[in-house]
């Protein structure tokens, strides 16, 4: 039993570490390309050895523990921030045959474990004895209150469509990927995941231009690297989750396998990097109002509607749900840009 747990954990750990290294490279290169630059291309073919060089450099750095920090939480925070990625990966089906552990409450488990990252961030902020860190940590906590609710609501939609809370059952239920049946829930989940990963436009707790690097400010060397790894591992793990929940996971046109999953994950990673290099950070309170005034009510209605269709109607789900979901998504976009326009009009009137 213990052997099995150790093996499971180790396997997930290796997967997460490798993907995090690959992601740092991907992000730097792809972002550079979108900014008309080449990015790091000096080490190895196409610069692929750059992450190794980075890792070596960080390993060689002195691990400073500043005076005045609260030692235990300060030391535990990087690990706590990193662990959830590994734990989430354990429950996701990587191919039709391979899943490290098929938990029958997979959806619940994934959310419960995934949101632990915030505790690491909060601890780091609170124990660092630095105002920037503290503000970063508090922002992380406040931010979680904004994105976690719509995220859960769109997960509920997935559960309703699949008729089960097990992740492998969710994959099995997707003869048509849920992203096509429920584009609204897909979009809401994407936005919430961006927020959970602290990526632009929602990277409030790092916010280099406002908070130096927020909760990471007092960390250096390998402990800093752990936060860094946690972020990039989060990118992969969230992409895997989204692929599993909405894009059919390892299923493809033929022979379900890890290749399809990898392609979907790469696609989603590209999208996230694309978003990062395009959108600037929004104001902190805007996420809260965007989430509570738009995403939550819309997602709630979505849950109610999906539930009623699933229980009452015998019609094919795609026909009953997809048009309504798409319409709601378009309405959401229009409402959002309308609001922006009326704001500009108001500002003009004031001037």
Partner 1 sequence: MRGAAKGFRVTLRRFFAPKETQRYPEEKPALPERSRGPFELTFDPVSGKPLCTSCGWCTRICPVEAIKVDYVEAISGVMYSAADEPTLAVSEAEAEAEAIDEAALQSILDGYDESRGGLIVTLQEIQERFGYLPRRAMRLASERTGLPLPKIYGLVTFFHQFLLEPPAKTTVFVCRGTSCRVRGGKSVLRRVQRELGDIGVDEKTADNEFYLRTFPCVGECSHSPIIGIRDEYHGRLSRGGIRRLLKEKA
- Contact residues for 150 (Cβ-Cβ < 8 A; gap 6+): 188, 191, 192, 291, 295, 296, 299
- Tell me the window of 67-75, 90-98, 111-119, 329-337 that interacts with partner 1 (CB under 8 A): 329-337
- Tell me the window of 84-92, 204-212, 275-283, 321-329 that interacts with partner 1 (CB under 8 A): 275-283
Cβ–Cβ < 8 Å for 250, 7: no
Q: Which of 11, 17, 34, 76 binds partner 1 (CB under 8 A)?
A: 34
Instruction: Determine the size of the site formed for partner 1 (CB under 8 A).
Output: 17
DSSP 250: T
**Count of CA atoms in the C-beta half-sphere (13 A) of 213:** 11
- Tell me the window of 48-56, 176-184, 188-196, 331-339 that interacts with partner 1 (CB under 8 A): 331-339
Decide: is 33 part of the binding site for partner 1 (CB under 8 A). Answer: yes
Binding mask 36-75 for partner 1 (x = CB under 8 A): xxx--x----------------------------------
Q: How far is the CB of 31 from partner 1 (least distance, A)?
A: 9
Structure tokens at 62: 């002195």
Decide: is 340 part of the binding site for partner 1 (CB under 8 A). Answer: yes
Binding mask 285-324 for partner 1 (x = CB under 8 A): ----------------------------------------
Q: What does the H/E/C string look like for 167-211?
A: HHHHHHHCCCCHHHHCHHHHHHHHHHHHHHCCCCCCCCCCCHHHH
Cα dihedral 166, 169, 171, 172 in deg (nearest 10): 180
Q: How far is the CB of 333 from partner 1 (least distance, A)?
A: 5
Q: How far is the CB of 277 from partner 1 (least distance, A)?
A: 5
Cis peptide preceding 258, ω within 30 of 0 = no
What distance in Å separates the CA atoms of residue 312 and residue 151, rounded to the nearest whole number?
25
Q: Which of 337, 342, 343, 346 binds partner 1 (CB under 8 A)?
A: 337
Decide: is 327 part of the binding site for partner 1 (CB under 8 A). Answer: no
The residues pairing with 93 across neighbouring beta strands, listed in sequence order, are 99
The residue among 186 and 260 lying less far from partner 1, judged by its C-beta, is: 186
- Contact residues for 176 (Cβ-Cβ < 8 A; gap 6+): 318
Structure tokens at 111: 């959310």
Q: Which residues bind partner 1 (CB under 8 A)?
A: 30, 33-38, 41, 274, 277-279, 333-334, 336-337, 340
């Amino acid at each position: 039993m213990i052997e099995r747990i150790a093996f499971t954990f180790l396997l997930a750990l290796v997967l997460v570490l490798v993907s995090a290294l690959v992601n740092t490279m991907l992000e730097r290169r792809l972002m550079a390309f979108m900014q008309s630059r080449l990015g790091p291309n000096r080490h190895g073919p196409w610069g692929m050895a750059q992450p190794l060089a980075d890792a070596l450099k960080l390993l060689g750095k002195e691990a400073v523990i500043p005076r005045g920090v609260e030692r235990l939480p300060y030391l535990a925070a990087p690990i706590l921030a990193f662990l959830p990625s590994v734990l989430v990966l354990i429950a996701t089906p990587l191919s039709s045959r391979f899943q490290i552990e098929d938990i029958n409450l997979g959806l619940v488990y994934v959310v419960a474990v995934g949101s632990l990252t915030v505790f690491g961030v909060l601890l780091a902020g609170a124990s660092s004895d630095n105002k920037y860190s503290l503000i970063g940590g508090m922002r992380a906590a406040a931010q979680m209150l904004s994105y976690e609710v719509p995220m859960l609501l769109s997960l509920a939609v997935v559960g309703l469509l699949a008729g089960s809370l097990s992740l492998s059952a969710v994959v099995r239920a997707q003869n048509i990927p849920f992203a096509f049946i429920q584009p609204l829930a897909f979009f809401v989940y994407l936005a919430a995941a961006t927020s959970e990963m602290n990526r632009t436009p929602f990277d409030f707790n790092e916010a280099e231009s406002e908070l130096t690097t927020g909760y990471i400010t007092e960390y250096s060397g390998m402990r800093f690297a752990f936060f860094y790894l946690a972020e990039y591992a989060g990118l992969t793990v969230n992409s895997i989750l989204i692929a599993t929940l909405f894009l059919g996971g390892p299923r493809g046109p033929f022979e379900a396998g890890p290749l399809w999953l990898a392609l979907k994950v790469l696609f989603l990673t590209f999208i996230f990097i694309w978003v990062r290099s395009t959108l600037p950070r929004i104001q902190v309170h805007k996420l809260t109002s965007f989430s509570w005034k738009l995403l939550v009510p819309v997602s709630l209605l979505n849950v109610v509607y999906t539930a009623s269709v699933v229980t009452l109607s015998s019609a094919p789900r795609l026909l009953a749900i997809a048009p309504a979901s798409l319409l709601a998504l378009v309405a959401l976009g229009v409402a959002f840009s309308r609001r922006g326009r009326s704001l500009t009009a108001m500002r003009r009137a004031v001037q």
